[in-house]
Amino acid sequence: MRDFHQPGRSAVFAENGMCATSHPLAAQTAIDILKRGGNAMDAAVAGAVLLGICEPQMAGLGGDCFVLFSPAGTDDVHGFNGSGRAAAGASAQALRKSGFAAVPIHSADAVTIPGSVDAFCTLAADWGKLGLDALLAPAIQYAENGVPVAPRVAFDWQEASQFLQGAGRTFYLNNGQVPKVGEVFRNPTQADVLRLIAKNGRDAFYSGEIAEDMVATLQAIGGQHDLDDFADTRGTATHPISATYKGVELLEHPPNGQGATAMLLLNVLSHFDISSMDPNGFERAHIEAEATKLAYDARNRILADTDHTTHLERMLSTDVAAELASLISRQQAMPSAPALTEAIHKDTVYITVVDRDRMSVSLIYSIFHGFGSGIASEKFGVLFHNRGAGFSLTDGHPNELAGGKRPMHTIIPGMLRQGGRVTMPFGVMGGAYQPCGHARFISNMVDFGMDPQSAIDTPRCFADAGVLRTERGYSARTKQALSDLGHILEEPHTPIGGAQAIHIDDKGVLTGASDFRKDGCAIGY
């Protein structure tokens, strides 16, 4: 139980349904959908689409999503990969010949075909109850009438606005200025796009005037995209992969997501007596940092689009985890493993919903960098993500850029089962941090007995790009001890990631947790 003398958040308890996400308007919209007779999938889709209006620097119709969900009455977990593919004409060789060592982040070359709209439409049709008209209506209303800008959103907007270009500045600034906290942001052209999707489904986005606008914009700045690339876009139903940490089963998306990294990290950590350590002390932070370096090095070598990933079984092997654990010294930090590219970033939204019948949805949605590529379509203002920056340009690499291929993705929704029963949909935002965040969140609960809210609230650190990024919550003594072990410490400008979770107990009570690092909340009824 938290200390009520100190600032903090209480968990939220309810029985009929719950949503936890990074913006209150989206959480409230999801609950409204549940009260109207929609199920968890309806609520998650409605809330996710609205997040693209409330947090346009993080997500939008020009982005990708991944979803894990458990239908009512079962403990089965299904997956849906809503990430798009590179244009058929995309070529790593062409970029190498132009002198690039990595995909240029804010260029048309970084724009893969957005997959989220297809995913939302498909999941609503196959697993929802209310239909697109009802699910998109709240986002249409808010896009038309406006949303007051929340504090964390305003902070991120200011940080990322420099990357907006052309029509992106027209549609995502208020008269050329970054919106301030409490200032209303409107996006009526997004309302137009959503009305067309509500009327004609996914085809309204992937063909016709919206697709023509997107293709013309990208081609005008050198993109290889054509109308067939958009028309051919389809999401993929997937079967989750899983691993067990001290009796708790973690389910993740298979590649092209990086969920296997979290599993490898937990398998490495299982070789250490984490529960005997101070949860906020230097020893735990050191072991976690060293395991992170090793797990991420494996990720960088192995993970790619499903058809191109090699040796996934090695990442999931407990024998490999034991070998890696033996490389960790308790007395000395090792050099950092190499980053995949400079493109690993943090801008993502997450929403989880559980309904009265205990259908649970774990949905993560992103345009990658702040405001994605910074490129928006000229007529409708669809802001394109830059997920293609997650490709490698190394000749022969499993994740090498190629036409029709999906890049390695950082965004990963999570789901937990215990004793065969689904107990928690959860997600940790934060780009490359996400596997480390999944492992730390689970370890906080399993090794230290924390409730989900406390597990989210604890300070975070992340070994990345040669430094150990440590939030302000760590004590000076802990930071000095880590420095003495050879870690190069850096306090990040922004907090590390964000998280949302809903625990489903066996007595019918839902417990929601929401990260103070974001503007959002958990709401139940």
Question: d(Cα 385, Cα 79) in Å, to the nearest integer?
Answer: 22
Residue 494 known to be catalytic? no
What b/e sequence results for 17-47 when a residue is b if at least 16 CB atoms lie within 10 Å of its CB, and e otherwise? Answer: bbbbbbbebbbbbbbbbbeeebbbbbbbbbb
- The first and second tokens of residue 442, run together, are 């689970």
H/E element holding 442? helix 434-448
Report the candidate in 139, 119, 131 with the shortest Cα–Cα distance to residue 39. Answer: 131
Q: What is the dihedral of CA 316, 319, 323, 329, to 10 degrees?
A: 80
What's the gap between Cα 333 and its chain centre? 29
Backbone angles phi, psi at 475, to 5 degrees: -75, 160
Q: How many Cβ atoms are within 10 Å of 234's Cβ, its own excluded?
A: 15
- The first and second tokens of residue 324, run together, are 């890696």
Region label for 497, one of left (φ > 0), alpha (ψ between -120 and 50) or beta (otherwise) = left
Question: d(Cα 208, Cα 138) in Å, to the nearest integer?
Answer: 24
Which residue in 261, 348, 352, 423 is the catalytic one? 348
- The first and second tokens of residue 339, run together, are 């980053």
Question: d(Cα 213, Cα 165) in Å, to the nearest integer?
Answer: 16
Mapped onto helix, strand or coil, the DSSP state of residue 69 is strand
H/E element holding 503? strand 498-504
Q: Return the bridge partners of 125, or none.
A: none
Which positions are annotated as active-site residues?
A: 348
